[in-house]
Amino acid sequence: MVGHFQEFEDEYLETMYEFYESDSEARVRTGQLASRLGVSPASATEMVQRLAQRGFLDYIPYKGAMLTQDGLVHGRKMKRRHRLAEVLLEVLPYEGNAHETACRLEHAIDDDLEVALSALVGPEAVDPSGRPIPEPTADIALRLPSTVQSLSLSQLADGQEGTLAAIILPGAAVEILRGEGIGIGTLVVKKANQLWHDDMLLMTLSTEWMDRIFVKIHKE
């Protein structure tokens, strides 16, 4: 029960952050929040009061609520994890309802997984709808090397090299790559749709595989 209730709180703060993205100075009325979340106004008012007592919201009856600094940090973190989850689902690719699935996944993303996903998508990524992914909190940012960027092989410039960091392909495909000496940690050079290592051709890849294999590069 505690876990589920925490998820409800997360959803409210994440939704408050959506309103904050639209207008950082506006107060959000409980009716607006209830409509956005699909709950009754009474339920929204009860949760808003609870979150205000916990220091996440600044709430004035009949005028609405705003995120406090603590609430802003938490709401931004949840929205960041939601949009990271949507990017991951797009890369897989996922054929179900990506938004609803991301709503469930965001609660399962811990700090370690957020760091891994952040490294995968890079610091300037947007979600599948083109919305920017919020900045990481300070503790996560400290764990992200500023001089390393992750790109898919499709995004890698011709002749550019990188270290393989993630292979989002079925197990059988991963085994085929391993059989050709291609695995996590391999330093490769992209030439058109080919992978080279030490002046030796490793493999010619399809566009689909190029989209789902990621490398780390060191930025200048």
Residue 148's pLDDT is 66
In this structure, the strands spanning 57-60 and 200-204 are: unpaired
CATH number at residue 22: 1.10.10.10
Output the six-digit token pair for 141. Answer: 């940012």
Residue 41's pLDDT is 94
Q: Does residue 49 carry a pLDDT above 80?
A: yes
Asked whether residue 29 is assigned to any structural domain, the reply reads: yes
- Is there a cis peptide before residue 170, judged by omega within 30 degrees of 0? no
d(CA 23, CA 150): 32
Pair (155, 192) in one structural domain: yes
d(CA 10, CA 3): 11
User: Three-state SS for 100?
Assistant: helix
63-77, 103-117, 130-144, 168-182, range with greatest mean pLDDT? 63-77
Among residues 22, 41, 67, which one ends one of the domains?
67
Q: Does residue 146 carry a pLDDT above 70?
A: no
pLDDT tens by residue, 33-47: 999 999 999 999 999
Among residues 110, 141, 172, which one ends one of the domains?
141
Residue 2's pLDDT is 39
Query: What mean pLDDT comes out for the span 197-211?
Result: 91
* Domain hosting residue 107, numbered range: 79-141
User: Three-state SS for 106?
Assistant: coil
pLDDT tens by residue, 71-105: 999 999 999 999 999 988 887 878 889 889 999 99
Confidence of residue 165 (pLDDT cuts 50, 70, 90): confident
Q: Please tell me the total count of domains within the chain.
A: 3
Does an H or E element contain 213, and which?
Answer: strand 213-218
pLDDT tens by residue, 108-123: 999 999 988 887 777 6
d(CA 118, CA 116): 5
Pair (8, 30) in one structural domain: yes
Confidence of residue 1 (pLDDT cuts 50, 70, 90): very low
Asked whether residue 40 is assigned to any structural domain, the reply reads: yes
Pair (213, 153) in one structural domain: yes
Asked whether residue 74 is assigned to any structural domain, the reply reads: no
Among residues 67, 95, 112, which one ends one of the domains?
67
pLDDT > 90 fraction of the chain, expressed in percent and rounded: 57
Length of the chain as a residue count: 220
Output the six-digit token pair for 145. Answer: 């090397």
Pair (55, 107) in one structural domain: no
d(CA 23, CA 41): 22
- Is there a cis peptide before residue 145, judged by omega within 30 degrees of 0? no
Output the six-digit token pair for 187. Answer: 């330093």
Cβ density class 65-74: b for 16+ within 10 Å, e for less: bbbbeebbeb
Output the six-digit token pair for 63. Answer: 């005028």
Asked whether residue 181 is assigned to any structural domain, the reply reads: yes
pLDDT > 70 fraction of the chain, expressed in percent and rounded: 94
> Tokens 């410039």 map to which residue?
157
Task: Count other Cβ atoms within 10 Å, centred on residue 165.
Answer: 18
